[in-house]
Amino acid sequence: MKLRDKFLIALASLVLLMAAVFFALSEGYTAHLFKSYATTAAKQESVNQWVQFLRYYYYSNGNSWNNLGFLLKNSRTLHEALRNESLTLTDTQNHVIVQTSVPNVRGKSVQVTEPITSVSGKQVATLTVRDWSKRNQNLFQIEQGLLHSMTTATVLGLFATALVAVLLGAWLASRITRPLKDMTKAMHKIEEGDLETRLSLDTKDEFGQVASAFNQMIDRLYETEQARRHLVADVAHELRTPLTIMQGKLELIQQGVEPAEPSTLLPIQDEVFRLTSLVQDLHRLSLAEVGQLPLHKVPTNIAQLVERVVENFQVEADDHDIQLRYESMDDTNIDLRIDPNRITQVFVNLLGNAMRYTPGEGTVTVSMNATAESIAVAVADTGNGIDEEHLSHIFDRFYRAQADRSRETGGTGLGLAIAKEFVEAHNGTIEVESKVGKGTTFTVSLPRENSPATS
């Protein structure tokens, strides 16, 4: 059953319940008012007279009810008064003292009960009077007519109210459930593979929050799907070239065009090494992304590690006429519990990129700074820089900011992605800043919580 139908059924049930309660209360209260009015009228005209008569009889008869029944039966005046009434007199123990017969009349009666007291004010009996007089019959007829009119008006009013409430409820149900319908349609489109579907709800209520979260989820799902497609395409591209080279070389050897000599097999071996490196990088990256990367943390002097990496690139810097500078921090005796191999690979990737994209006579600067919370290592170059549109994707797998970068000149595009995962595996951060024409700076921050003194 649809939510709208459930809402309508619940609303209709509530309206009917409230109508029934209102009808019962109004009918009961009106009938009670009429009964009270009839009782009051009977009491004012007849019962008070009987009470006064019985008090006087009790007092004049020596505080006794003797012969009262005989008097009521044989007195013509009293008998005439009892033509439309009946009396029941009981003592304080609820024993019947006297009771007159019910008159031969039809219709409804009004019953009134009043105490009989002595001169001293002590209750000596209880009088119950049932009145079938014409006055009461007229009151009952008025009551029945008025109740019938009120019932008709109430039923019609309740029907009209219920109809308006149901129609209004149907409109509200349709309006309230409309966002759910839109979400359902969007989900069906997503199920069919359309990840460009979005919900346009401007409300700030719960539906608006759900729509906003839904759109964010679709954005993430779309980005993930795009990344997956790009990953498959990039992996296929990265594998296609070496496999094509290997296949071509092997076919030439099989056809006898080229001899199976070390010089002929060397290109095949190079491609095998490249494929092995690509697979290993993908494996390490996958482990890091799921938090399963094995880390062998040992106390390591971070300044010495960075300095050693810089020294290893000094020969390459000299060959390309690049000035490689290292600016160490004041305190070079800071040890961190890190995996030196993983962190070394991070700085090798960063320095390798900096050397690759810095032109001759350019400068690559590695600087270190220490704060109370972390150790920051910055690798800055004076290359061409990176466009702002590429910065948010610079750490994505196989992403190349320059379209003309090939496998041979630009690597596989996994270096920065691996560097980011390795740094985050040490609870650190890696950030990039770049200006086109001025250069790029990568900053790696490792928290001091990795220090042996705090671990």
HEC readout, 109-129? CEEEEEEEECCCCCEEEEEEE
Give the residue from 105, 96, 43 showing the smallest Cα distance to 68.
Answer: 96
Return the structure tokens found at 278: 């690509």
Task: Region of 143 please: left (phi>0), alpha (psi -120 to 50) or beta.
Answer: alpha
Distance (Å, rounded) from C-alpha 65 to C-alpha 50?
Answer: 14
- Report the C-alpha dihedral over residues 185, 187, 190, 191, rounded to 10 degrees: -100
Distance (Å, rounded) from C-alpha 291 to C-alpha 295?
Answer: 10
Give the residue from 147, 141, 207 showing the smallest Cα distance to 176.
Answer: 207
Classify domain 206-289 by CATH number: 1.10.287.130
Amino acid at 411: G
- Rounded to a whole number of angstroms, the CA Rg of the chain reads 51
Q: CATH 3.30.565.10 occupies which residues in the chain? A: 298-450
Q: Which residues contact 12 (CB under 8 A, 6 or more apart)?
A: 162, 166, 169
Q: CATH 1.10.287.130 occupies which residues in the chain? A: 206-289
| Residues paired with 447 in a beta bridge | 374
Distance (Å, rounded) from C-alpha 162 to C-alpha 171?
Answer: 14
pTM for this one? 0.48
CATH class name, domain 298-450: alpha beta
- E strand segments, 349-390: 363-370, 374-381
pLDDT in tens, the chain (455 residues): 666 667 667 777 777 777 777 777 776 776 666 666 655 654 455 677 888 888 888 888 888 888 888 887 777 777 676 677 788 989 888 889 888 887 776 666 777 788 988 888 889 899 888 876 655 555 555 556 666 777 777 777 777 877 887 777 777 777 777 777 777 787 788 777 777 777 776 667 777 778 788 888 888 777 777 766 766 666 676 677 677 877 887 888 888 777 777 777 777 777 787 777 677 767 776 666 666 677 888 999 999 999 999 999 998 999 999 999 999 887 778 889 998 988 998 999 899 889 988 988 899 999 999 888 889 999 999 988 888 888 877 887 766 665 444 444 445 567 788 888 889 888 999 999 999 888 999 999 999 875 555 54
Distance (Å, rounded) from C-alpha 15 to C-alpha 23?
Answer: 12
Helix, strand, coil in percent for the chain, rounding step 5:
60, 15, 25
3-class secondary structure, 99:
strand
Give the dihedral sign, CA 175/180/184/190: positive
Distances (CA, A) of 394 to 228, 357, 442: 16, 15, 11
CA atoms in the 13 A half-sphere facing the CB of 367: 10
Task: Region of 358 please: left (phi>0), alpha (psi -120 to 50) or beta.
Answer: beta
